[in-house]
Amino acid sequence: MDVPATVEPLFSILVANFNNGRYLGQLLESVHAQTYANWELIVTEDASNDESPRVLSDCKADSRIRVVSHVRNQGAGAAFASAAQAAAGTLMGMLGADDALRPEAIRRMVDAHLRHPDASLINSDLLICDSDLKPTGQPSDFGPLPLGESLIRNCCVSSFATFKASAYRRTPGFNPSFRRAVDHDIYLKLEEVGVLHYVNEPLYLYRMHAGGISQGINGIKAAQFALLARADAYRRRKGTKLPNLTRGEFRDLMSTYHRRQADMCTRRDPKDALRHLARSALYQPSLCLRPGFWKSAGRHLVGLAAS
């Protein structure tokens, strides 16, 4: 059993922060309001240029809060990796720097991990909030993973996402090259080393605002990283008994990724757009039979000639 039921295990809250200084106050208040006392908060300060360093410096008096500072901005994957490396807890949980926890969140999760020693990842439902962190009443689309399904096809994990440190150490860990969909990537890895469990209670306050890492235009970029996370999972799971994509599904996934990349960089770098379009056809040769493929190629060529 990973977590002895006779002790109150240390719970490490992992935060990756970049320019979310305006929201950190509410995050800190929510952590201090936890009904579970044995926690630590590890914040990676990812070279913010807003008020974040000042807000975090005010926390120095609380020994339960530690700040890991990056000299240059490295992105969410590297920031979460740094926080996890610095964490001492038996259990860990991811908290967005612009979000917050309900007071009973850690207590509920610790209890769930004690009841389910074989669970590598346990998550809960969440409350969707406006930019002021007030619940909107909008229903959550998340829930437990249906029996027999895998996150590689249906990533229904929502926050509060928590995991055993022992399970995390059996994975490759957070991918430092991922700037978005970092959560999707680690969920897939944790599924590979244990079972999943769901707490049907909204324990997490998810803030909707224009600058969110997975919202607005960032949502499109996050979707691209999510495709890469699934592709990496496919490669890791090949030759194992773990649920996996078929080879055809993998090729379709990669073709979709490169088509989207081509569309995203048409104006910025037409040459790169053409490279991505060619790769999409390598993964899915039937694209060459579609008029839309050549229309897209022509648009990229025009952009290249004009550059």
> What's residue 1's pLDDT?
44
> What's residue 113's pLDDT?
98
> What's residue 302's pLDDT?
52
> What's residue 31's pLDDT?
98
d(CA 144, CA 142): 7
Digit-coded pLDDT (tens) for 211-223:
655 555 667 888 9
d(CA 82, CA 160): 20
Which parts of the chain sit beneath pLDDT 50?
Answer: 1
User: Would the CA dihedral through 150, 153, 159, 162 be positive or negative?
Assistant: positive
State the Cα angle at 170 between 165 and 174, rounded to 5°. 75
Digit-coded pLDDT (tens) for 90-136:
999 999 999 999 999 999 999 999 999 999 999 999 999 999 999 99
d(CA 79, CA 180): 11
Phi-psi region of 241 (alpha: psi -120 to 50; beta: other; left: phi over 0): alpha
Q: Name every residue whose Cβ is closer than 8 Å to that of residue 150 and which is 6 or more positions away in sequence.
A: 191, 242, 243, 244
> What's residue 287's pLDDT?
76
Closest CA to 14 of 53, 74, 51, 65: 65
Give me the sheet containing 65-69, strands edge to edge: 65-69, 39-45, 11-17, 91-94, 161-164, 119-129, 195-207, 100-101
